[in-house]
Structure 1
Amino acid sequence: IAYLDANGDGVTDIFMATGEYLLEGEVNSILAINDGQGNFTSSTSEFGDNMPPATHARKSIVFDYNNDGLDDVFVFDHGYDSNPFPGSNPKLIIQNSPGSFSWSKLTDQTGFHHGGAAADIDNDGDIDIFVGGFEPFFYINSDGNSLTKTDNLFDNSINKVFSAELIDVDADGYVDLIVGAHEQDGDNTSVYWGSSSGTYGSSSRTIVPELPNYGTVLDFEAEDVDGDNDRDLIINRTGGGNNNFYNGRRVQLLLNNGGRQFVDATNQIDDPGLDTDIWFPWLRAQDVDSDGDIDIIPDDAGYGFSYLNDGSGNFVKTSN
């Protein structure tokens, strides 16, 4: 799911890159247009009735590819989700003018593209893209004219990534790379600290504490939850052991302790997590009750609950 202004009317529309667990073909994505009153209608006219397809889209991100002030979309599609994992191609969706889109399949890279993120990692004024998977890489943006694939901006400690974000966590002006996959397979969940070089490596990273039995990392947020003016980490997890793989849910809270170090404060979230709980793929960190602090919610109202912050980083699970 991605949120964007798809027609220049100033209200938020929804783009949904679709797919199914063991789908071998492709299904068309969905664009839901907001009428300004919170009512959404599926529409294909913005794409000339040629909707971009996907096999199993893991993530879509909204960014401005060519700095024209219009929302564009990048779709990470990992393809058929079982052996032999043949992979799929990313899709680049360009809003050429308000309410008019075109898209292309990036056929130069076929792979298990399981997540990614976008930011200007080289400080040249355009947005670059990190693509996760079994063989992660960057697409470096050349002024909105082309994307060039490179895997030489990080060392071999980044070798499998299923979830990622690009955020300036330590507020030093350089974008940091947060990555996670399966801790049960030895994949360290880590923050790689950005620098003027635009590269990332093990010599400048912080390994995040593991959460026993919940080693499958699904999503990240980095916001100030305790009011001390630095970014804390929120990590969405599900089961990672042989007996609970993709069973249960747990949200991990890591408070920023300064010096690029974090202290685990997961016990400040009033939800112990059970193997029988239904996991959710995405979380959002925002002020949902308008009291001036950051709360945590699943990015799907159907789950029916929120974690409300008391202002000091203590969260109470509350039914919506």
Structure 2
Amino acid sequence: MRSTIGAAVAIGVCVLRAGAGDLLFVDATVESGLSTLHSPSDALGFSSLGVMCAGGAVADFDRDGDQDVFVLLGGKLPDRLFLNNGDGTFVDRADEWGVAVQHMGLAVAVGDYDGDGWLDLFVTSCGPHGAVPGPSQHRLYHNTGAGFVEVAHAAGVNQSTSLTCDGTGAAFGDYDLDGDLDLFVAGWFYQSQGNRLFRNNGDGTFTDVTAASFPSLATVRGFSPRFIDMNGDRYPELLLAADFGTSRYFVNQGDGTFADATAASGTGLDGNGMGQCVADFDGDGRPDWYVTSVFGNKNPTTPGTGNMLYLNQGEHAYAEVSEAAGVKEGFWGWGTSAADLDLDGDLDLLETNGWAFTAGYSDTPARVWLNDGAAVFTDVAASCGLWHTALGRALFTFDADGDGDSDVVILSFKDELRFYRNDMVHGDDTSWLGVRLDVSAAPHLAPTGSEAM
């Protein structure tokens, strides 16, 4: 649910705006070649996991300098890998790359876990299409540069719980600063085992170190994990958006363990944490934390806290400002992303939402909140052309066509993928910076891409 630099990829970063035009998105799904349909297996049906997940990832998998799109289709159809032609059009190469698999996929994480300079894929799964959903089915796709090879069992990450199918989210991050990427897998359905930390052994295998690294996770209904350094000590914290009031803010102690600082930090106030993103929304140089949740304004029988925006005050202290910022009411929130959509130098917010089983939430529109520079936001979804009312689950922002602005992909439950191209007219003085990261001399530096449940 974030935009980051992929290995050898050019990205657009706005550094100045003067005379830019109005924000305008165009549904370019068909012409881009990204048309596909989320088709979950009947074995999952309308179970909790079946209706909550429609995952994917955006990253430069073939290292040609542009962003590709990987999509989980849920089982009835094989997963898709759309490689970017460099101009914002895509071709499905899933068969050639070895990922056209029919399985009950849920969530995705992207990272170069073996340090060879190629971005790999971790996919949580409930098993092959047509089988009974079960544990021990996760997939780890090792990127060889010419395709993917599935190695989860050999690597020790095929199972995050031995009791049932689970795996609503995942994230790579180097929590122990030893130079390789570790893996956290979130679990919602069977929370006593579902949230697991796997330490990278540096040889292509992982060890489950959950019990030694965390206080109890037994009550946490995990959805969306994120490794990121929130206080500048280089050690990444683990931020975990979780359901039913169980979101957690874990501070990295630097010795391989994490301390639960949720209450002390002023976070964890969301009632139904689902999606999250981290960005400096108020321009003070510190990363802030945004968590999507349920807001009960569409149905009085569904109470909800709404989304939470935690502005970083330093030293692991936060001020919750969602109402004042104008981003509390996001309906039944799911995936989210931060990006400078209008190229004015600050980070805006997008959120997708929807829930078919509670009256009032089945056709709510996605949110497009523009930042005024001081973390006060205005929803412009209706006027900018990004009017999306499907049951959204995952959302990505990335520069698909190399023109310097952020385009948007939204994945929805039992619905078509949608690609919204940013066609804003750039002013003569609008500037953006392209960055290409060459990791050939130090392949272990190849970073993660964008991923989501």
Which TM-score band applies after superposition, normalised by the shorter structure? 0.7 to 0.9
Higher relative contact order (CA 8 A, sep 6+): 2
What is the aligned partner in structure 2 of residue 22 from structure 1?
Answer: none
What is the aligned partner in structure 1 of residue 141 from structure 2?
Answer: 93
Note if contact 2:126-2:166 (Cα within 8 Å) is conserved in structure 1. yes
Percent identity over paired residues: 26
Greater helix content: 2
State which of 190, 199, 206 in structure 1 corresponds to 2:257.
Answer: 199
Q: Does 1:36 align with 2:52?
A: no
Shift of 1:257: 1.8
What is the aligned partner in structure 2 of residue 296 from structure 1?
Answer: 349
Note if contact 1:269-1:307 (Cα within 8 Å) is conserved in structure 2. no
Note if contact 1:88-1:113 (Cα within 8 Å) is conserved in structure 2. no
Show CA shifts across 1:198-255 (max 9, x none): 21133786351524xxx2111222211111111111111125999438xx89432111
State which of 161, 165, 170 in structure 2 corresponds to 1:116.
Answer: 170
Sort the Cα spacing of 1:267 and 1:203 in 2 relative to 1 into closer, same or farther, 3 A. Answer: closer
Normalised TM-score (structure 2): 0.59
Note if contact 1:138-1:150 (Cα within 8 Å) is conserved in structure 2. yes
- Return the alpha-carbon distance in structure 2 between the equivalents of residues 249 and 79 of structure 1: 35
Show CA shifts across 1:255-280 (max 9, x none): 11223111111013335527xx4x35
Shift of 1:305: 4.2
Note if contact 2:135-2:166 (Cα within 8 Å) is conserved in structure 1. yes
Matched residue count: 297
Show CA shifts across 1:145-200 (max 9, x none): 2122222211115642222111111111111011232235xx2x221111221211
Q: Does 1:307 align with 2:356?
A: no
- Return the alpha-carbon distance in structure 2 between the equivalents of residues 316 and 41 of structure 1: 36
State the SS of the aligned residue for 2:292: strand
Shift of 1:76: 2.4
Letter in 1 for 2:349: I
What is the aligned partner in structure 1 of residue 279 from structure 2?
Answer: 223
Note if contact 1:169-1:222 (Cα within 8 Å) is conserved in structure 2. no
State which of 64, 71, 80 in structure 1 corresponds to 2:119.
Answer: 71
Letter in 1 for 2:258: Y
State which of 268, 288, 291 in structure 1 corresponds to 2:324.
Answer: 268
Sort the Cα spacing of 1:88 and 1:303 in 2 relative to 1 into closer, same or farther, 3 A. Answer: farther
Gaps (5+ residues) in structure 1? 20-24
Q: Does 1:8 align with 2:8?
A: no
- Return the alpha-carbon distance in structure 2 between the equivalents of residues 54 and 250 of structure 1: 33
State the SS of the aligned residue for 2:293: strand
- Return the alpha-carbon distance in structure 2 between the equivalents of residues 193 and 102 of structure 1: 34
Note if contact 1:67-1:144 (Cα within 8 Å) is conserved in structure 2. no
Shift of 1:316: 0.8
- Return the alpha-carbon distance in structure 1 between the equivalents of residues 365 and 103 of structure 2: 25
Q: Does 1:167 align with 2:228?
A: yes
Q: Does 1:131 align with 2:179?
A: no
Show CA shifts across 1:66-115 (max 9, x none): 111111111123679xxx98446221111101x42212344444541121
- Return the alpha-carbon distance in structure 1 between the equivalents of residues 235 and 149 of structure 2: 32
State the SS of the aligned residue for 1:93: strand
Q: Does 1:46 align with 2:107?
A: no
Matches within 5 A, 1:136-151: 136-151=195-210
State the SS of the aligned residue for 2:375: coil
- Return the alpha-carbon distance in structure 1 between the equivalents of residues 372 and 70 of structure 2: 33
State which of 243, 253, 257 in structure 2 corresponds to 1:182.
Answer: 243
